[in-house]
Structure 1
Amino acid sequence: MIKLLLSSSLFLSSFTAMGNSLTVEELRIEKAMTAIPKVLTAFSADVEQFEKSWKSVENYKQASDLIHDYSHQLWHNAKQRIIKTNSFDDRQLYWARLLSSKVIRSHKPDFAITDAELTALLTMLENGSRGRTNLAYTKNTDKKILLTGFDPFLLDRNINQSNPSGVAALLLDGQVITYKGITAEINTVMVPVRYEDFDQGIIEALLAPYYALNNVDMIVTVSMGSKEFDLERFPGKRRSVTAPDNANIVYGGTATDPKISRLNDRPLPGNEFVEFSLPVKYMQQAKGSFKINDNHKVITLEKAFEPKSLAELEGAIAVKGGGGGYLSNEISYRSIRLRDELNSDIPTGHIHTPRIAQLEPETEAKIVKQIQAMLERSLEVL
């Protein structure tokens, strides 16, 4: 059962508009403004102009047009800024998005607006500023790659935490890579670290069209892991950690009682474990600062071990897949489960990056460079 952390007096989904109440994530803005003021003010001009425009909208159509354009511009500006400043800092976009959603919640427009309409506008802000509605392959390349990154997380422990996967998403979006004359265009999306969004099917909604049509050549999900790169061979179905998400929700799964997540108010279907299909041997040849592991480690209710095949996991109950028992593992499980359900042959899998402490630009630069090298080495077998 989902439960609130005792330290949290309030939880509202980021897509719930009830009065002018702020979400848990928005409530952290005050602390962040003191701890990391330069990060919070990186997009101050954009947010201030948005606030001014928001206060002047006269109807829902104007509000919708404003947020559509603004959210796309925020994503575009964040990508340009990280390249121009060479900062390797994904945090600026994360906090700018929250500052923007806070504006929407805090200032009631001068026209009658329903909760449903306000929710739709907040969803539009989320999707546009995460690259979700900018997924157009416009380059004339041989291959197409879709990559996802995550927001910073565990922010009550480290309010200034960055996430290398988010940095990769910002830097690689729209890039064309080449290997042995083979070209590929990369499109990326930034994913929230919130259980509720996963339970409402955001991963399935994002990826189903690609699997149904087989119209990309590889789907790679990325998140921050431990000391080295891990290619997660066997993602598991269940949640089993006590770490909160960014809304301060603890799902309730444990090592002895792992929980199945939801999909649109029903238990998530599928086997206990699935197997990824990335071109491992080629990706492991990507040169860089870190070792790249083909990680077979899993934990079941019976034991922890390293199966060589999916057949060895038949009948087992998942506690932790290769990616753990949190949302990193789950995005991998959900994407592969969906791929299999839709009978797609798109190579799919998860890359866990080396972990960083707070913000480490030099390390994150090396991480992104090696991720790109992995994608490049994959091209000759896609």
Structure 2
Amino acid sequence: MKQVLIAAALAVVAVAATVAPASATPRGCLDPAVPLPVEENRLGATLPDEADPGRAQAEPLSERMIGGAGFGAFTPDLVARLCRTSGPAAARAVVVDAGERLWRAAVDRAQRRVVRGALPSSDDRPLYWTRLRARAALRQWVPGFRVSRERLVTAFDRASRGVRDVDFPPGVRRVLVSGFDPYTLDGGQRGPAPGTVGNNLRHGNPSGAAALALDGTTVRTPDGGLARIEAYTLPVNYPEFARGYLEDTVGPAMRRGLDASVTISQAGGAAFDLEQWNGRYHGVSPGNDGVRPCPPVHGAPRLAVDDPRCDTAVVPRWGGPADFDLHNPPQWTSTTLPVDRMIAARTGAGVPRPPGDTWPDQSEAFGVVWHTNYTEFPDCRSTERVTRNSPVPPEHPPAAPPVPPDPGSCSYSGGGGNYLSNESGYRNALLRDRMGLDIPAGHVHTPDMQHFETRFGDSDATFDAWRRAIVHQTRELIRVVADG
């Protein structure tokens, strides 16, 4: 998810008032006239037909993803339950239960306990599109009582990401892992069919697939003990991060004695990048919701001293501060992952190479690289930028140690850019530091999964092979972290 560049931020459609009026309930208790925001508006997007790009596919991609996993009954069941609710407390209980059930269904499918539908069990996309379909229904629900629909959407969204599912039994080493939703869903190749969209809409995210595959699993450590891996997924949106999505999940686990916390996202190429430095600067590229906190002006970056929205802010309940401070939280955080062991383990040696893999060592699927580069503003009041440790040395350990960020500098991008992947790594390491913990915590970027044989097909053997290979090697890398 490094430095994602999207041509222009999408216009965010205004969401209906957060407090629903106590008015007559339309048939089925939904009002389709209620406008939807950017993410949910993609539910109706359709790709061209693969065999005849002059025609649209028979149904939107979202329906193909939802039905392809056997999740078609989920939102109708949620709506039926909502229509029978009698008050705000009951409505919240319904949406939280639904979110938890959706997460468990996605995990069960990824781990091949219950697999329905024609899509591969490893596919992460049905969870995303089913969540959006349910969120759209919540926004268009017209209850017979006063209730904040936005709060219900948030409660459902959080529950459907596995954040309420984090549970470590006693006597195990506790490892927490995050993944991300699909992203860069706009653009890509287009066909001539009227009303269709570019094929980026079919993107998935291997970090999300890895989270589903890893959640609730255990591995044996070298000393004969057990390590439990719990996982959750994060949205590719800035507002949810600003509301504390990550801290509210990782913070309580750290307080209860977490042994390792790893954030994971997708980058490019054919290597896993272990990011050394994470930067506080963010918001150059829009999220899935079209929100972009810090767009450049006439091609020049904004500065956080002029616009505090350009720097990550932490909610007061996780240390704040409430008022902007350029150096609190700090401009940089760094990894404490066992980089040497993660590289030496040659985790790609037992992973089948997917078609078109470009990693030069044919004996393994993907390489693992200590990614030490970053870009800083040496003077926080000047737009002049300097990139350090680039190119990253191919050998490990490098002949010379990497140069750390200058004291007093301001970040422009960490090794993982200045998008939400970098932000997840920044917030995760910041929590570790503020709690005074000496545990492995850091960010891993996976290779790019978006390799298709077809122009507009939903899924194919090559796409699935890349996802399975990346998930397989991610599991091996997490095993190294879990070994302690």
Does the pair score TM above 0.5?
Answer: yes
> In the TM superposition, what is the alpha-carbon distance from 1:142 to its structure 2 partner?
3.1
Cα 1:266–1:202 shift into 2, 3 Å: farther
Q: 2:434 matched to 1:341?
A: yes
Larger helix proportion of the pair? 1
Q: Is the 8 A contact 1:88 1:365 kept in 2?
A: yes
Alignment-mate amino acid for residue 324 of structure 1:
G
Matched residue SS, 1:198: helix
Matched residue SS, 2:40: helix
**Which residue of structure 2 lines up, in the alignment, with residue 24 of structure 1?**
38
Alignment-mate amino acid for residue 425 of structure 2:
S
**Structure 2: distance between partners of 1:368 and 1:325:** 24
**Which residue of structure 2 lines up, in the alignment, with residue 35 of structure 1?**
61
Cα 1:11–1:223 shift into 2, 3 Å: farther
Alignment-mate amino acid for residue 89 of structure 2:
K
Cα 1:378–1:141 shift into 2, 3 Å: same
**Which residue of structure 2 lines up, in the alignment, with residue 164 of structure 1?**
206
Q: 2:94 matched to 1:98?
A: no
Unaligned runs of 5+ in 2: 1-7, 21-33, 47-58, 188-199, 304-309, 316-321, 349-364, 378-384, 391-400, 452-458
**Which residue of structure 2 lines up, in the alignment, with residue 232 of structure 1?**
275
> In the TM superposition, what is the alpha-carbon distance from 1:159 to its structure 2 partner?
1.0
Cα 1:353–1:311 shift into 2, 3 Å: closer
**Structure 2: distance between partners of 1:240 and 1:130:** 23
**Which residue of structure 2 lines up, in the alignment, with residue 256 of structure 1?**
301
Matched residue SS, 1:249: coil
**Structure 1: distance between partners of 2:474 and 2:205:** 14
Q: CA RMSD in A?
A: 2.4
**Residue pairs, 1:261-272, within 5 angstroms:** 261-264=312-315, 266-267=323-324, 269-272=328-331
166, 171, 184: which is aligned to 1:154? 184
Alignment-mate amino acid for residue 246 of structure 1:
N
368, 374, 383: which is aligned to 1:298? 374
Alignment-mate amino acid for residue 18 of structure 2:
A
**Residue pairs, 1:176-215, within 5 angstroms:** 176-180=218-222, 181-213=224-256, 215=257
TM-score scaled by length of structure 1: 0.89
Q: 2:337 matched to 1:278?
A: yes
Q: Is the 8 A contact 1:221 1:351 kept in 2?
A: yes
> In the TM superposition, what is the alpha-carbon distance from 1:193 to its structure 2 partner?
0.7
Cα 1:11–1:300 shift into 2, 3 Å: farther
**Which residue of structure 1 lines up, in the alignment, with residue 31 of structure 2?**
none
Identity of aligned residues (%): 28
Per-residue Cα deviation, 1:57-92 (whole angstroms, up to 9, x for no partner): 222233222222211111111111223344321110
Alignment-mate amino acid for residue 102 of structure 1:
A
Cα 1:310–1:142 shift into 2, 3 Å: farther
> In the TM superposition, what is the alpha-carbon distance from 1:310 to its structure 2 partner?
7.1
**Structure 2: distance between partners of 1:7 and 1:47:** 26
**Structure 1: distance between partners of 2:255 and 2:137:** 38
**Structure 2: distance between partners of 1:236 and 1:12:** 32
Matched residue SS, 1:368: helix
Q: Is the 8 A contact 2:275 2:416 kept in 1?
A: yes
**Which residue of structure 1 lines up, in the alignment, with residue 474 of structure 2?**
371
Matched residue SS, 1:281: helix
Q: 2:347 matched to 1:287?
A: yes
Unaligned runs of 5+ in 1: none
Cα 1:246–1:11 shift into 2, 3 Å: farther
Matched residue SS, 1:136: coil
**Structure 2: distance between partners of 1:266 and 1:207:** 23
Matched residue SS, 2:334: coil
151, 154, 157: which is aligned to 1:126? 157
**Residue pairs, 1:68-87, within 5 angstroms:** 68-84=96-112, 85=115, 86-87=120-121
